[in-house]
Chains A and B, each alone.
Chain A
Amino acid sequence: MPELGRLAICLALLFAAYATGVSIVGAIRRRRHLVRSGAHAAYAVFALVVVAVAILLRALLAHDFSLEYVAAYSSSTLPVQYTVAALWGGQKGSLLFWAFMLTLFTTIVQVQNRERNRDLMPWVTATLMTTAMFFLGLLTFVTDPFERLPIAAREGADLNPLLQNYWMTIHPPSLYTGYVSASVPFAFAIAALATGRLGDQWIRSVRRWSLFSWFFLTLGNLFGARWAYEVLGWGGYWAWDPVENAAFMPWLVSTAYLHSVMIQEKKDMLRVWNMVLVLLTFSLTIFGTFLTRSGVISSVHSFTQSGLGPFFIGFLLLVLVVSGGLVAYRFPELRTAATVESFLSREAAFLFNNLVLVGIAFAVFWGTVFPVVSEWVRGVKITVGPPFFNRVNAPLGVALLLLAGIGPAIAWRRASPRNLWRAFATPVGAGLVAAVALLLARVPLGYAHATFALGVFVLGTIAQEFWRGMRARQAMLHESAPRALSRLVGKNRRRYGGYIIHVGVVAVFVGVAASSAFRVEVQQTLAAGQEVAAGKFTLRYEQITKQDDPHMSRLAAVVSVWRDGRQIATLAPEKRFYKKPQQPTTEVAMRPTLTEDLYLVLGSYDEESGLVTLLAYVNPLVSWIWIGGVIMALGTTVAMWPTLAERRAPAYALGAARVPAD
């Protein structure tokens, strides 16, 4: 069976090469049948990759330990959901999974565009299939997921206990979906450059795809943060690890694109800039994959060198050279005459927002590659840690939040004093009142204070937009308030979906600012019955409990939590000692509320004296990060949802991309 999987991958590689070749020849010579043949070959690539994935999955589920991959990442006692997750738990499997997603999206794009974008599609196919060739080539020649062990193992080494976690089943697939779907806008961008059709056509075709990719990058990042928070036990959710940065950078650039593309659609400006952002987003996904797999930059995720680095660098260079060359070649045609008319305009606000977002991305990039660069330049490795990223990004984040309040409310082209007054009097007033109220509530001046006050300002502009839109409909169409509101959103999904996303962003900002600035951290060694104070909580260590089963032994410290003389909870942070890969893990105990999370870790336990060391963190407003994530997801769904007109119209009449199944 596994040999069949290998065969499927080899064939897929051949078909992908064929699809690339005939698509390009068909496009240049204008041979419709060649282009169609290329599209069919792309379907075949998908089918073959599905076969390969199915075979690997079957081997995992059947515990076929004659396969190196299965033996390395699963065991016969691993729960079934993690056995499935082992598909993306190791390097080889994750590359196969990547190829699977890529060919799946290629197929969806082909189906969507059967009757559309005839001029662009051969180039889209060629670009996506070239990318597929890269991954299939790695799987064929460098790192074979179907490699057999010389002697079948009797038992698997099992998945790393840290990965045996609920989030393992959804965090990597979300991130991969976001990463891989960024290939679709990239492919359309390349097609637009190759054909010289640089107008709105390609942008409209990938509008939903870019939003889709951004949606999953957002989820992937937040799931990752949540995972780190729940599992790693250091009290935080984001450590600026290179691998986290790798997922954050494409998100930032993609966010910039989603904003600046609106200016292109409205004003036909920024064509070069938008093109560059799309190309850069894709390049950063490849760079991120390179970071996690090369071992060039040390990270908790990737200490081992795998030898794949040079291939990724090679592919990245190819992408950059081809993209850069095409942009340079089309540069005269890409330029447009339109310019920003006024400093005080929505265009300008969006542009500054773009600069700040790209600036943050650059700062993160610089901090991430700094050790490598310093080694090249000065011969010594110099690292920057979380303090660097926090210092640089806090002011930029505050600037971004300010722009998020200005952008949606300020007029296009040129804001008159009257417009400014009308748009900002109330929100700015609300922000100032909040700033003073916060000072009175003894929130010290600083980034957190600024974030809270600006958050109120942003929410003010958004609320005002909703309110005015609703009132206008009520006045003109005599609709009831709820009906006016739902129609308002329904008719302008992208705009109001965007506002809802901003509400979520404010929640995330507030959560991040509060938990960074006002976190309380206590470490204390206690005997049974002793107490320690953590913020407004008093923690009393009651006793230790022990449990032993064949899989692991568990040590739990029972801690009662008191506040104002009343017991409000009992928490039991644990240490677990897994028996198969012999390794202790930390099981955090948490009491999350809307105002703060009490987060307990059992640091250590001394058998002889019965003393335990507890780590307690009081993290204010962390819940709002996750709530903000949910709001962002809701807003994105609203923005992506097809409008009524789109749903009724036949697919080929539409400009926007759409999954035919809905």
Chain B
Amino acid sequence: MLEKRRFIVGAVLIAAAVSYLIYAGVRTTSMYYFNLDEFLSSREAHADEDLRVKGWVRHGSVHWDARTNNLAFELAHQDDTDPVPVAYRGVLPDMFAEGREVVVEGRYAAGQLAAHQIMTSCPSKYEPAKTGS
């Protein structure tokens, strides 16, 4: 009986350790994932906080300097409305292009998103890329 109790204690300890790791992991690493509208309505409240925003690269807004690797563009709705300026320094992702859906990870401050990562969508493995918009 003592062995059984010991064993249960071991199992409970493992379960508790896993739960704690998950809890602590979520607390320290989670961030908001907004679509553009959610971001626009709550951006002031989340200034200077890491977050992700999903939107589209506004047509005609991309400025890319291959010498300094500075990228500036505007994140907007699919129809190019409600633009938010984004600044990024780093290598341009292959899939990045005007009109593409992207997820920007970064902080909002002084009216623009300072991105530290830009995630581009695959034009999908499972559905054909729609040409045009």
Contact = CB atoms under 8 A, between A and B. Distances in A.
Given A163-B125, A306-B126, A382 B4 contact: no
A340 interface: yes
Given A302-B124, A613-B66, A613-B91, A355 B15 contact: yes
Contacts of B103: 298
A527 B90 CA distance: 17
Contacts of B17: 359, 395-396
A357 to B, nearest CB: 11
Contact of A604 (B24, B25, B92): B92
B11 A90 contact: no
A381 B33 contact: yes
Contacts of B3: 340-343
A245 interface: no
B14 A356 contact: yes
B89 to A, nearest CB: 10
B133 interface: no
B107 interface: no
A488 interface: no
A91 B22 contact: no
B69 A603 contact: yes
Nearest to B66: A606
A383 B54 CA distance: 12
B52 interface: yes
A233 B94 CA distance: 10
A301 B122 contact: yes
Contacts of B28: 387, 391
Nearest to B20: A392
A613 B69 contact: yes
A370 B30 contact: yes
Nearest to A614: B91
Interface in B90-115: 90-92, 94-95, 101, 103
Interface stretch (A35-43, A424-432, A561-569, A583-591): A583-591
Interface string B35-69: 00010000000000000101000000000011111
Interface SS of chain B: mixed
B52 to A, nearest CB: 6
B86 to A, nearest CB: 18
A376 to B, nearest CB: 14
A90 B128 contact: yes
Contacts of A352: 10-11, 14
A304 B33 contact: no
Contacts, number: 163
Interface string A327-370: 00000000000011111000010011001100110110011001
B109 to A, nearest CB: 20
B10 A343 contact: yes
A583 B95 contact: yes
A340 B4 CA distance: 7
Interface string B1-16: 0011011001100110
B116 to A, nearest CB: 12
Q: Which of B32, B38, B65 neighbours the largest number of chain A CB atoms within 10 Å of its CB?
A: B32
Given A384-B26, A387-B29, A392-B22, A585 B126 contact: no
A508 interface: no
Contacts of B52: 383
Interface in A89-148: 89-91, 94
Nearest to B21: A392
Nearest to A366: B22
B4 A162 contact: no
Nearest to B120: A300
Contacts of B24: 391
A6 B18 CA distance: 49
A91 B4 contact: no
A502 interface: no
Interface string A266-309: 00000000000000000000000000110000101111101000
A348 B126 CA distance: 44
B126 A382 contact: no
Contacts of A395: 17, 21
Contacts of A367: 22, 25
Q: Which of A162, A342, A604 neighbours the largest number of chain B CB atoms within 10 Å of its CB?
A: A604
A322 interface: no
Nearest to B96: A584
Interface string A604-620: 11111101010100000
Contacts of B67: 525, 606, 608-609, 611
Nearest to A576: B94
Given A298-B103, A339-B4, A606-B67, A382 B125 contact: no
B30 A162 contact: no
A651 B11 CA distance: 41
A285 B77 CA distance: 35
Given A303-B122, A383-B31, A363 B22 contact: yes
Contact of B66 (A91, A383, A384, A611): A611
A388 B69 CA distance: 29
Q: Which of B14, B69, B128, B129 neighbours the largest number of chain A CB atoms within 10 Å of its CB?
A: B128
Given A581-B129, A609-B67, A613-B66, A371 B122 contact: no
Given A157-B128, A302-B124, A303-B121, A584 B94 contact: yes
A73 interface: yes
Nearest to A381: B33
Contacts of B54: 298
B64 to A, nearest CB: 8
A525 B68 contact: yes
A525 B14 CA distance: 48
A303 B17 CA distance: 34
Given A298-B103, A382-B30, A604-B69, A348 B10 contact: yes
Contact of A94 (B33, B34, B124, B126): B126
Given A303-B121, A352-B10, A355-B11, A391 B25 contact: yes
Contacts of B129: 157, 160, 581
Given A90-B128, A523-B91, A605-B66, A382 B31 contact: yes
Nearest 8 interchain pairs by C-beta: A603-B91, A606-B66, A359-B18, A72-B128, A303-B121, A91-B126, A381-B33, A304-B127
7 contacts: A233-B94, A303-B121, A340-B4, A340-B7, A352-B14, A389-B25, A605-B66
Given A90-B127, A363-B18, 16 more contacts: A73-B128, A293-B126, A300-B119, A343-B7, A355-B14, A363-B22, A384-B31, A391-B21, A392-B18, A396-B18, A396-B21, A523-B90, A581-B129, A603-B92, A606-B66, A606-B67
Interface of B: 3-4, 6-7, 10-11, 14-15, 17-18, 21-22, 24-26, 28-34, 38, 52, 54, 65-69, 90-92, 94-95, 101, 103, 119, 121-129, 131
Interface of A: 72-73, 89-91, 94, 157, 160, 162-163, 233, 292-293, 298, 300-304, 306, 339-343, 348, 351-352, 355-356, 359-360, 362-363, 366-367, 370-371, 380-385, 387-389, 391-392, 395-396, 399, 523, 525, 581, 583-586, 601, 603-609, 611, 613, 615
